[in-house]
Amino acid sequence: METVVAETRLAIADGADEIDLVIPYRAFMAGDEQAVRTMISEVRKACPAPVLLKTILETGELKDRGLIRNASHIAIQEGADFIKTSTGKVAVNATLEAADIMLTCIRESGRKVGFKPAGGVRTVGDARLYLNLAATIHNPDWPMPSTFRFGASGLLGDILSVLDGREPVAGATAY
């Protein structure tokens, strides 16, 4: 805990205006909900306004709908500015199922919390599915930079292809 808080303070001192925090999801899966609450709470305290705290749930590792829902609610309750599906570094990253759960938790909270699907969003068609889901759960005007972002470096190539009128990336979902 002390190391994470110290690294957060150092990053902010070095000019960071956003902090990505991966929750201790293995401890959470083992039943230690308090580890998640404490980690988020302590890092939140180390992030003075206007620094944003993005809490990464690693939903592909959590797998279970109930765990994803509980982790989302905890992150929101402890002050996350964004909840993010994944680091993009695990086998399963963003999924529409996890996005549905997380976006619903945000709506249920009544708080202004953003959502960031990360990893696995590779095409404009994929991106459209996430944007449509967010618009359906919230409203059509909800997805904007302050509430919705993609963590998908692979998406850029497909966006550029579409804008240039070239063929979409191989295997791209229709848009």
Do 127 and 150 contact (CB within 8 A), yes or no?
yes
Orientation of helix 96-109 relative to helix 124-137, angle to 10°: 30
Beta strands 82-84; 114-116: pairing state = parallel
Structure tokens at 96: 């529409």
Known catalytic membership, residue 84: yes
- Output helix, strand, coil percentages for the chain, rounded to the nearest 5: 50, 10, 40
Nearest to 36 by CA among 82, 65, 74, 80: 74
Instruction: List Cα–Cα distances, 19 to 40, 82, 99, 131, in angstroms.
Output: 11, 10, 21, 23
- Choosing from 81, 84, 126, 158, the catalytic residue is 84
Nearest to 37 by CA among 77, 4, 91: 77
- Choosing from 14, 54, 81, 116, the catalytic residue is 116
Catalytically active residues are 20, 84, 116
